[in-house]
C-alpha cells in the first residue's frame, strides 16, 4: 500500500497539530517536563547550525538554550504542516516551516527553518527524529525604515 495524504484520518491530524503546538509552547516557555514528554527516550534532533542532540538528556538542554539566547522573548511558529505516512505504514512524517519571532523587536521574524520529523505512537504520539535546516545563512534583520517624500 502506498502512503497517501488521504490515508491519515482527521483525528490523527488534530493530534499531530496538538503535539506540534505543545512543542512550540514548551520550547518558548521553558517547560522541561512537557518538553521531554514530546519525545521518545531515544529521539534525535539534528540542527546543523545548532548541533545534534541524541536522547532525552541532550534534548532537555534545548529550552534552556532558547531562553538564554532569546531572553524569553522568542516565539516559534510551525506552519504549512504536511503530514504523510512513513514507508513502514505506522510512523508519520511531518514537513513544516518553523519561523522564530523576537518580541524584543516588535515580533520581527529572526529565523526560518525547514522542519522535518518522524512521529510514532509510543504512549501517545512522540517525536522520534527531528531535523531543522536553516533557510538562509544568517539571522534575519528587520527591514530598515526609509523616508520617502510623496509629491503631487
Which uninterrupted H or E stretch holds 93? strand 92-102
- On whether residue 52 sits in a domain, the answer given is yes
**Strands across the sheet containing 108-121:** 51-54, 39-47, 125-134, 108-121, 92-102, 74-85
Round the average pLDDT of the chain to a whole number and report it.
Answer: 87
Question: What's the pLDDT band for 122 if we cut at 50, 70, 90?
Answer: confident
- On whether residue 48 sits in a domain, the answer given is yes
- On whether residue 150 sits in a domain, the answer given is no
What is the distance between the alpha carbons of residues 5 and 27, in angstroms, rounded to a whole number?
Answer: 28
- On whether residue 76 sits in a domain, the answer given is yes
Given this model, what pLDDT does residue 48 score? Answer: 81
Given this model, what pLDDT does residue 24 score? Answer: 97
What is the distance between the alpha carbons of residues 15 and 50, in angstroms, rounded to a whole number?
Answer: 28
pLDDT in tens, 2-35: 444 457 899 999 999 999 999 999 999 999 899 9
* Residue 24 belongs to domain spanning: 5-134
Asked if pLDDT for residue 1 goes beyond 70, the answer is: no
The structural domain count of the chain equals 1
Here the CATH number for the domain that contains residue 62 is 3.10.450.50
Residue with cell 519561523: 99
- On whether residue 139 sits in a domain, the answer given is no
CB 1 within 8 A of CB 75: no
- On whether residue 148 sits in a domain, the answer given is no
Amino acid at each position: 500500500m502506498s502512503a497517501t495524504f488521504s490515508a491519515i484520518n482527521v483525528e490523527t491530524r488534530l493530534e499531530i497539530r496538538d503535539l506540534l503546538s505543545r512543542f512550540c509552547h514548551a520550547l518558548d516557555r521553558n517547560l522541561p517536563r512537557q518538553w521531554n514528554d514530546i519525545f521518545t527516550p531515544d529521539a534525535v534532533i539534528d540542527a546543523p547550525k545548532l548541533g545534534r542532540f541524541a536522547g532525552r538528556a541532550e534534548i532537555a538542554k534545548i529550552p534552556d538554550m532558547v531562553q538564554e539566547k532569546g531572553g524569553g522573548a522568542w516565539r516559534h511558529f510551525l506552519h504549512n504542516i504536511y503530514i504523510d505516512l512513513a514507508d513502514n505504514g505506522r510512523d508519520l512524517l511531518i514537513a513544516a516551516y518553523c519561523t522564530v519571532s523576537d518580541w524584543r523587536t516588535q515580533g520581527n521574524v529572526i529565523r526560518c527553518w525547514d522542519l522535518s520529523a518522524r512521529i510514532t505512537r509510543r504512549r501517545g504520539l512522540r517525536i522520534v527524529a527531528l531535523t531543522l535546516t536553516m533557510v538562509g545563512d544568517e539571522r534575519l534583520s528587520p527591514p530598515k525604515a526609509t523616508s520617502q517624500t510623496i509629491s503631487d
